């Protein structure tokens, strides 16, 4: 797990932060937030908030008191304890892309299948830099809609030994995946002590929480499993076209959900979620990897820290249709701020293409290279006599070279980040080897990774119990 | 000219900075620096430094006293006063790639020609975000080696009305280009009052300044034209494999040259130069856009500010052979730190490919898009009632959308950065329009820009005098 010990790049003044806090307080108290689940409205009414139909107007001080009950950071257990992670503080935890219905394999774009889902699980297991396959790495469109959550969780649980995400399509799905986590980790008490599932709940922005998300959120909160309360904000559509307004809205939407979680189960782990970009004002289409999304991410980190909450944001977001230059510069445009803001839980780290509609095998590899490069870049320098290398200068003198210097020989294996995709062959050699661009080289890499993949072992009894549960539930659901 | 009003991302502690300062002081005083020009050695001896052959050992306090004579920031005049720039402070000034012998046009890689040189001048003129074509935007290999500096300066002076760089191949070349600047700007006094040429002088690292660079440096300093004293540091070859050692070396090499410039002409403008990356320790080939170069750039900015000097660094550096994903993620890996460190003079902003061996037309366009995106990202947010948009929330309410809100209608034209290369068409539309990737779209853009290019007017008398001078000198040099 990566620890970001570099400074945070904070860009908001104290005054701006105060303005944002005044902004969300005004939204929740004067306009209020809609909640489509009656249980949520009832709980909030009982807690003294002002209810009118589905709309709840909040006392912002009460919201802050509720938010203060959430842990500042928490652990998340993986099947293999080596892959346990910590959410919050300096930790940065990375999951693959989440949600795409389509897959791109080379030049072919097609519906995602369960075979693709399994492949992305294998790739997520194969790259150490990635902490999780996430949840819906692609939609397995060839599986039953009612029971595919079981197949996905089973694949993530058995093809990787890393943690994975909970399903939020219905609260029944949530219950199923929680039960699977109990089987894997030795019972309810174990996952209540240290949670195993992290789940994404999106706000139907602006200012409305829908019932499916609320009901799933409640299941996970009851089980002590962390939820990532995420306003879904494409500026110009789901929020105003100004970043300050969008940040205030993001706080309003996320904080009331966190307050509600703390009613359901005080002390339940939560993550302040951000998914903030903008639309193209000509076409209305979503844009990713924009300057605005970069700024939003920097601000979000600073806001979350001011609230003592771990936060989610960033990833390899881009709007490109193919694994070209745009896909890469937009990905860097979000991934660098992801690191600059010290994002704790990073979804969509690998494989995101075409505005999140496509899981791309080639892009997955490009993204891992970018991720590892940034991990190297965000590692503080060591300053000491050895790193200052005065003796090397004495040895080499004027106009010489350091290739054979003792200082170099001692360090040449790991002095620099060693890329696995990036190529710097000279032109003649590059031509001789087939003039392969980054996408072509990435394709070779993921194919080799899949060939070399080794399935992590699972305790036979756990596997049997898990298999039985999944089979039983599938037969019930698909009946 | 872009003003970077965002915070700087400083990553060095006071202790680390003190260590670096101790480091360069030890190098210049105990090992010393070689100077291949006798005039330089003589001047430094007369100034009390310890000379042995070509090696000069420095009193670091004397170096610092000399460095303090350099201006903290300065203006640079362009032919069109609208294109004047300021080097230092919050200003960031951007020039195109410098030095490539080859050109890539689409899939064709070939020797650069004067026609290419002129095209890149036209493109540099066409994009407002770029402040200068720079100097050797590509080598015009079809021109005489002895006189091509005249053709290049003439092209830069007439096809653009922006400032351009001085030639440093010989001090005679330098004299020619200074004379051309005098003609353009109305005489020696004018360019001594406000300089017109900025020139790159590279150290033959480690710890040696060669005669050609020193002699050119001297010409420019005598004329009061700024020089960018730049250690040429590929870690592992020209410097040790540790970043702190390389930063100390960079300070040693740059600062003694600046001290020398201040002997030649006290108060002459200088720029603390950085060109810092690393080699691949397997192949020995240069790497660009690496994590190490990003860190180096962040540190360099902080160091230059501690010295009260404007600094040069960054740009769109990458090692890729083609305009693919790697070329873009490596470019962003240096361009984002270029902005984070507030780099004052940014060479290689547009067109750099293949480790600087190739000037690429397509990459030129990609780089302008990246540049403009970062300019948008590094523009501080406005916080006020209007940007907080409470009324827009009242208008839109719960679960609605902001597309038609009054707040949106007032701002939709310029609320977000508007890309000109980046594409977010939906897949069906993108396919229908030819499934063009970023490179293909970039090609269309630069070809259109060249078609639409309008040559900026030049005063007829100046043009005649300039033409006559160039013709006369060419006939002398090519005789």
pLDDT in tens, B311-322: 999 999 999 999
Considering Cα of A417, then A418, then A422, then A426, what sign does the dihedral take? positive
CA proximity to B173, closest of B198, B136, B148: B148
Which chain A residues are within 8 Å of B400, Cβ to Cβ? Answer: 206
All residues of chain A having their beta carbon less than 8 Å from the beta carbon of residue B213 are none
Residues A324, B324: C-beta atoms closer than 8 Å: yes
| CB pair distance less than 8 Å for A321 and B425 | yes
Distance CA A413, CA A394 (A): 22
In a domain, A474, yes or no: no
Vertex A201, ends A198 and A203: CA angle to 5°?
Answer: 155
Taking an 8 Å cut-off on Cβ atoms, the answer to whether B398 and A206 are in contact is: yes
Using CA atoms, how far residue B77 sits from A5, A81, A312, B360, in Å, is 43, 63, 47, 28
Q: Which residue of B has its CA nearest to A109?
A: B427
Inter-chain CB proximity B415 and A330 less than 8 Å: no
Separation in Å, CA A366 to CA A124, A332, B330: 13, 11, 11
Question: Which domain, by its residues, includes A144?
Answer: 2-6+68-377
Our CA-based measurement puts residue B27 at a distance from the nearest CA of chain A, in whole angstroms, of 7
B26 found inside a domain:
no
- Which of B243, B392, B402 lies nearest to residue A237, judging by beta carbons? B402
* Closest CA of chain B from A310, distance in Å: 22
Look up the CATH number of the domain holding residue B325: 3.20.20.480
Can you point out the beta strands (E) in B189-319? 197-203, 208-209, 227-235, 270-273, 275-279, 286-287, 311-312
Mind giving me the DSSP string for B100-145? Answer: -SEEEETTEEEE--HHHHHHHHHHHHH-TT--B--S-SS--TTS-T
Interface of B with A in 121-180 (CB under 8 A): none
What's residue B479's pLDDT? 85
As a whole number of angstroms, the distance between CA A189 and CA A168 comes to: 22
Category of B249 on φ-ψ map: left (φ > 0), alpha (ψ -120 to 50) or beta:
alpha
Q: Number of residue pairs across A and B with CB atoms under 8 Å?
A: 374
Judging by beta carbons within 10 Å of its beta carbon (0-12, 13-18, 19+), is residue B240 exposed, middle or buried? Answer: buried
| Beta-strand relationship, A345-346 and A91-94 | parallel
Picking from B363, B289, B296, B367, the residue whose alpha carbon sits closest to that of residue B329 is B289
Residues on chain B touching A392 (C-beta within 8 angstroms)? 240, 245
Min Cα–Cα distance to chain B from A305, Å: 18
Residues 247-306 of A with CB under 8 A from B: 248-249, 278, 280-281, 283-288, 290-292, 294-295, 299
What is the CA angle A207-A211-A215, rounded to 5?
A: 120
Q: Is B466 domain-assigned?
A: no
**Structural domain total, chain B:** 1
Residue B413: list chain A partners with CB under 8 A. Answer: 281
Could you list the mean pLDDT of each consecutive 10-residue stretch along chain B, which spans 479 residues?
Answer: 97 97 98 98 98 98 98 98 98 98 96 98 98 98 97 98 97 98 98 98 98 98 98 97 98 98 98 97 94 98 98 97 98 98 98 98 98 98 94 96 95 95 96 98 98 98 98 95
For residue B417, give the nearest of A292, A376, A407 by CB distance: A292
- Global ipTM: 0.98
In a mutagenesis test of the B interface, which of A40, A205, A325, A376 is the best target, namely the one with the most B β-carbons within 10 Å?
A325
The helix/strand/coil state of B460 is helix
Q: Does any domain span residue B95?
A: yes
CB distance A405–B330 less than 8 Å?
no
Partners of residue B437 in chain A, C-beta under 8 Å = 321-322, 324-326
Query: Within a domain: residue A305?
Result: yes
Residue B110 in domain? yes
Q: How many CB atoms lie within 10 A of CB B42?
A: 12
The token pair that represents A293 in the structure block: 């999304």
CB atoms within 10 A of CB B157: 26
* Strand, helix or coil for residue B230: strand
Query: A245, B389: Cβ pair inside 8 Å?
Result: yes
The sign of the torsion formed by the CA atoms of B403, B409, B410, B411 equals: positive
Distance between CA B59 and CA B56 in Å, rounded? Answer: 10
Interchain proximity A240–B403, CB inside 8 Å = no
pLDDT along chain A (479 residues), means of 10: 97 97 98 98 98 98 98 98 98 98 96 98 98 98 97 98 97 98 98 98 98 98 98 97 98 98 98 97 94 98 98 97 98 98 98 98 98 98 93 96 95 95 96 98 98 98 98 95
Q: A60 by DSSP, 3-state: which?
A: helix
Q: What strand order describes the sheet that includes A108-111? A: A108-111, A102-105, A358-360, A352-353
Interface contact flag, A387 B237, Cβ < 8 Å = no
Indicate whether A23 belongs to any domain. no
B:441-470 residues touching chain A, CB 8 A cutoff: 442
- Which of B 19-58 lie inside 8 A of A, CB atoms? 19-20, 23, 26-27, 31-34, 55
Question: Which residue in chain B is spatially nearest to A399 when comparing CA positions?
Answer: B206
Contact A377 B295 (CB under 8 A): yes
Distances (CA, A) of A115 to A143, A376, A450, A478, B416: 10, 33, 12, 20, 39
Say yes or no: B420 contacts chain A, CB-CB below 8 A.
no
Contact, B246 vs B296, CB < 8 A? yes
Up-side HSE of residue A103: CA atoms within 13 Å toward CB? 19
Q: Is residue A466 part of a domain?
A: no
Residue B333 with chain A: CB contacts under 8 Å? 332, 336, 373, 377
With CB atoms and an 8 Å threshold, state whether A408 touches B241.
yes
User: From CA B18, how far away is CA B22, in angstroms rounded?
Assistant: 6
- For the record, the structure tokens of B29 come out as 């005083």
Secondary element (H or E) of residue B20: helix B14-26
Element (H, E) at B344: none
> From the CA of A170, how many Å to the nearest CA of chain B?
20
Q: What is the CA radius of gyration of chain B?
A: 23
Alpha-carbon separation of residue B231 from A269, A288, A316, B228, B305 (angstroms): 51, 38, 34, 10, 17
């Amino acid at each position: 797990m990566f620890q970001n010990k570099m400074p945070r790049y904070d860009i908001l003044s104290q005054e701006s932060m105060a303005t944002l806090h005044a902004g969300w307080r005004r939204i929740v108290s004067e306009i209020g937030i809609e909640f489509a689940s009656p249980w949520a409205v009832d709980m909030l009414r009982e807690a003294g908030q002002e209810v009118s139909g589905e709309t709840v107007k909040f006392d912002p001080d009460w919201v802050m008191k509720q938010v203060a009950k959430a842990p500042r950071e928490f652990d998340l257990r993986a099947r293999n304890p080596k892959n346990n992670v910590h959410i919050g503080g300096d930790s940065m935890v990375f999951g693959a892309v989440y949600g795409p219905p389509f897959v791109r394999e080379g030049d072919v774009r097609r519906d995602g299948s369960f075979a693709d889902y399994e492949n992305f699980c294998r790739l997520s297991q194969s790259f150490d830099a990635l902490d999780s396959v996430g949840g819906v790495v692609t939609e397995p469109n060839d599986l039953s809609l009612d029971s595919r959550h079981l197949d996905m969780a089973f694949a993530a649980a058995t093809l990787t030994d890393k943690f994975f995400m909970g399903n939020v399509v219905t609260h029944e799905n949530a219950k199923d995946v929680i039960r699977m986590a109990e089987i894997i980790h030795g019972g309810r008490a174990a996952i209540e002590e240290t949670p195993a599932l992290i789940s994404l709940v999106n706000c139907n922005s602006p200012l409305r929480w829908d019932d499916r998300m609320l009901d799933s959120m409640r299941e996970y909160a009851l089980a002590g499993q962390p939820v990532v309360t995420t306003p879904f904000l494409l500026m110009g559509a789901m929020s105003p076209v100004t970043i300050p307004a969008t940040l205030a809205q993001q706080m309003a939407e996320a904080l009331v959900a966190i307050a509600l979680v703390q009613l359901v189960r005080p002390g339940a782990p939560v993550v302040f979620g951000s998914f903030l970009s903008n639309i193209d004002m000509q076409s209305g289409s979503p844009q990713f990897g924009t300057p605005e999304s970069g700024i939003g991410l920097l601000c979000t980190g600073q806001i979350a820290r001011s609230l003592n909450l771990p936060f989610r944001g960033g990833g390899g977001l881009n709007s490109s249709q193919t694994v070209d230059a745009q896909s890469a510069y937009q990905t860097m445009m979000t991934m660098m701020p992801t690191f600059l803001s010290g994002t704790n839980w990073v979804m969509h780290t690998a494989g995101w293409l075409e505005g999140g509609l496509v899981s791309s095998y080639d892009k997955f590899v490009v993204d891992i290279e970018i991720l590892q490069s940034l991990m190297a870049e965000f590692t503080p320098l060591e300053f000491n006599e050895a790193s200052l290398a005065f003796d090397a200068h004495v040895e080499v003198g004027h106009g010489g070279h350091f290739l054979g210097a003792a200082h170099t020989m001692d360090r040449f294996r790991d002095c620099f980040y060693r890329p696995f995709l990036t190529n710097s062959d000279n032109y003649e050699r590059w031509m001789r080897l087939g003039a392969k661009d980054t996408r072509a080289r990435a394709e070779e890499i993921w194919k080799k990774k899949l060939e070399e993949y080794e399935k992590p072992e699972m305790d036979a009894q756990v596997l049997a119990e898990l298999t039985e549960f999944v089979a039983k539930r599938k037969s019930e659901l698909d009946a």
